[in-house]
Structure 1
Amino acid sequence: MSIAFLAFIAALLYLAAAGLQLVSALQHNGNISRSLIVIAVFALGCHAFLTWHNIFDHDGMDFGFFRIFSLIFLGINAACLLALTKRPLQNLLIILFPLSAVAVLISTLGPDTGALEHRVPLGVAAHIGSSVVAYSILTLAAIQAALLAAQDAQLKRRQMGGLLSVLPPLQLMESMLFELIWVGFIALTLSIGTGVVFMQDIFAQHLVHKTVLSIAAWILFAVLLWGRYWLGWRSQTAVRLTVTGSTVLMLAFLGSKLVLELVLERG
């Protein structure tokens, strides 16, 4: 089986799983089907194999923009499926899985944009790993925040259909949001900490944008968590700061890689 064919299989599995959850949501079914879980696990397995092949199956390690883009979605999906064992986050799959299908195809069929790394020290690998976890969890939090904002707006307009009929209660949605933020904040703290300790110069010209934006995102999430537990900040403030922090964080990594590799064409 060719790698390209496997990428199409993974994309189709993701789309099938998203379709199943969409149908379930339209039918106001609050449970997640076993068929969806099986399809999602197979899709995730194909995605993991493709990500490993695209990044590591070379003379060196390819951490180009499209490869990392796919790796982040792999992390997001894995985190979401794990969270489903405790929390009803299945409606996020309707958004995540189609985007993951695109990420798998672009990563496999798209051009190589980054220079190969022939040796990655353990400390740098820990930095990369914690960064991917942080980006994944906090992206989930941003999507959760968007759903929370839409749900809150419907409640204020007293519209009882639509999202209100398929999402958990507002209080539970808010609790799940802050659980995601806490986990993502801890991972982001580890990412910045390992970067300071193990990276040679985190304020070098090609890293300074990533470093400054990552620290800015960390401050935003720290302020949000402080405000939540000391000032009782609720949904609207949480939504604004979560979306802003997640956007800044994604710009820190994917934005800088996009400019360096695709615009300036520097690996």
Structure 2
Amino acid sequence: MITLSANLIAIFVYTSAAIYFGSLFIRQKPIHSVQLLGVAAFGLIIHGVGVYGISVSHSGIAFSLFSVSSLIFLVVNAIVLFSSLKKALHNLFLLLFPLSALSVLASITATNPGWQHSLSYSIAAHVILSILAYSLLTIASLQALILAYQNHALKHKNRIANARLLPPLQTMESLLFEFLWVGEILLTLAILSGFYFLEDMFAQHLVHKTVFALIAWLIYALLLWGRYQMGWRGTKAIRWALAGFICLMLAYFGSKMVLEIILNKI
């Protein structure tokens, strides 16, 4: 009952915040960062209680498709919240609030309780590295979407006022590549730990995940190389960042969907 209540409250907080702060942005009203971060912190605490209740039990840790989705958004929100204390990242919550609400809703309506696992320390390390990598690269992708909006606004004068509510374009682009660097390092460690600790990364139930993760790693590596060797920026950088993220999501959520939803119905 506590778990359900916490998740329902988290959905209400995230949804209300998305509507309120989104309306301020649309009406070109200033968004007070302290107020926004306060709401985000409250939502994060309640969300954490809900994630713990769904994911942890006496039989192990649940790693179903939707419970992990909620966990990843919890980690993403925590990273953005603490990073916002020093950097201009609080506007990312305009995208994170509705996405977090959807992830929590999915976790309480579509959780597969049969997917419980007791993990060794080595496998747990691989899972934690993977979740941190996904979280950092999710933030980078949201940053890329905001950059795309800013680029679009600069080409349409009627939307410039909204874009001015965001940090300068150069600042946002620098933050994007900072998150890409950290995310790529964590993704590298996650892949290497998988090859080291798992018996066969190309086994039938892992090959889909492994191939797409390697493709995502290669895309991010090429983007970072292009940035510092060829000066890639703007639309080209945004497209590469989003392409890598799509492959990364296919690596994890695609394989989970096949295993938990499609094959379960056959």
Same fold (TM over 0.5): yes
- After superposing the two structures, state which structure 1 stretch, 147-156 or 167-176, moved more: 147-156
* Alpha-carbon distance in 2 for matches of 1:115, 1:33: 39
Match of 2:245 in 1: 246
User: Is contact 1:130-1:188 (8 Å) kept?
Assistant: yes
- Counterpart of 1:255 in structure 2: which amino acid? G
* Alpha-carbon distance in 2 for matches of 1:29, 1:221: 34
Match of 2:221 in 1: 222
Structure 2 unaligned blocks of 5 or more? none
Match of 1:237 in 2: 236
Aligned-residue offset at 1:9: 0.8
- Counterpart of 2:5 in structure 1: which amino acid? F
Which residues of 2 match residues 2-81 of structure 1 at below 5 A?
Answer: 2-25=2-25, 26-29=27-30, 31-34=32-35, 36-81=36-81
Say if 2:201 is the partner of 1:176: no
Structure 1 unaligned blocks of 5 or more? none
Aligned-residue offset at 1:157: 4.1
* Alpha-carbon distance in 2 for matches of 1:183, 1:68: 21
- Counterpart of 1:145 in structure 2: which amino acid? A
* Alpha-carbon distance in 1 for matches of 2:73, 2:114: 18
Aligned-residue offset at 1:163: 3.4
User: Is contact 2:3-2:54 (8 Å) kept?
Assistant: no
Aligned-residue offset at 1:191: 0.8
**Cα deviations by residue, 1:195-248 (Å, 9 ceiling, x for unpaired):** 111111111100011011101101111111111111111111110100000010
TM-score (norm 1): 0.92
- Counterpart of 1:182 in structure 2: which amino acid? W
Aligned-residue offset at 1:23: 4.4
User: Is contact 1:21-1:32 (8 Å) kept?
Assistant: no
Aligned-residue offset at 1:18: 2.6
User: Is contact 1:144-1:177 (8 Å) kept?
Assistant: yes
- After superposing the two structures, state which structure 1 stretch, 242-251 or 166-175, moved more: 166-175
* Alpha-carbon distance in 2 for matches of 1:2, 1:147: 36
Aligned-residue offset at 1:174: 0.8
- Counterpart of 2:14 in structure 1: which amino acid? Y
**Cα deviations by residue, 1:154-204 (Å, 9 ceiling, x for unpaired):** 223455634322111111111111111111111111111111111111111
* Alpha-carbon distance in 1 for matches of 2:157, 2:174: 22
* Alpha-carbon distance in 2 for matches of 1:191, 1:162: 41
User: Is contact 1:113-1:265 (8 Å) kept?
Assistant: no
Aligned-residue offset at 1:33: 2.7
Aligned-residue offset at 1:107: 1.1
Which residues of 2 match residues 141-152 of structure 1 at below 5 A?
Answer: 141-152=140-151
* Alpha-carbon distance in 2 for matches of 1:18, 1:83: 20
User: Is contact 1:50-1:108 (8 Å) kept?
Assistant: no
Aligned-residue offset at 1:86: 2.0
Cα 1:155/1:62, change in 2 over 3 Å:
same
* Alpha-carbon distance in 2 for matches of 1:265, 1:58: 24
User: Is contact 2:134-2:183 (8 Å) kept?
Assistant: yes
* Alpha-carbon distance in 2 for matches of 1:78, 1:161: 30
Cα 1:157/1:106, change in 2 over 3 Å:
closer
* Alpha-carbon distance in 2 for matches of 1:38, 1:74: 15
User: Is contact 1:113-1:262 (8 Å) kept?
Assistant: no
* Alpha-carbon distance in 2 for matches of 1:225, 1:183: 11
- Counterpart of 1:42 in structure 2: which amino acid? F
* Alpha-carbon distance in 2 for matches of 1:150, 1:109: 32
Aligned-residue offset at 1:15: 2.1
Task: Determine helix, strand or coil for the equivalent of 1:232.
Answer: coil
* Alpha-carbon distance in 1 for matches of 2:201, 2:160: 49
**Cα deviations by residue, 1:18-61 (Å, 9 ceiling, x for unpaired):** 34432443444264033x32222121111112212211124222
**Aligned pair count?**
264
What is the root-mean-square deviation of aligned Cα atoms in Å? 1.9
* Alpha-carbon distance in 2 for matches of 1:22, 1:88: 17
* Alpha-carbon distance in 2 for matches of 1:251, 1:162: 36
